[in-house]
Amino acid sequence: MTSDTSMVRCSVVRAGKLPDGLTSDFICDTVRRAVGSAVQAAGLAPADVSVQVTVESSSRLAATATIRGKALPAQHLGVSDRPLNARAISMLSSAIATDVAALRR
């Protein structure tokens, strides 16, 4: 089993709605970093995991992780008083990592 977290597939849908300063690459890099140790803890290979992040608006995101073809419950994040920022992306990534880690064998 490889521990190369770059193998975790990540996509961002409707990236054009992201506020200035955030990119789909930044989101996926943050997700991959957060999910990396969770993948190992769950005894998974990084290639077993994919994450799709949907930008609902400049202040709302939804993300679904799929493990070996099975979708985990969606995570939703909204910021009520400002556009999305790096901290919000980190929080969403941590929530996804928690779900993945809960799949321990």
* pLDDT values of the chain reduced to their tens digit, one per residue, 105 residues: 445 767 899 999 999 999 999 999 999 999 999 998 889 888 888 889 999 999 999 999 999 999 999 999 999 999 999 999 999 999 999 999 999 988 865
Best CATH choice for the domain 5-101 from the list 3.40.30, 3.40.1000, 3.20.20, 2.40.160: 3.40.30
pLDDT, position 42: 85
Q: Which long-range contacts (CB under 8 A, 24 or more apart) does 46-51 make?
A: 46/2, 46/3, 46/4, 46/5, 46/6, 46/7, 46/8, 47/2, 47/7, 47/8, 47/9, 49/8, 49/9, 49/100, 50/8, 50/9, 50/10, 50/11, 51/8, 51/9, 51/10, 51/11, 51/96
pLDDT, position 103: 81
* Segments making up each domain of the chain, as ranges: 5-101
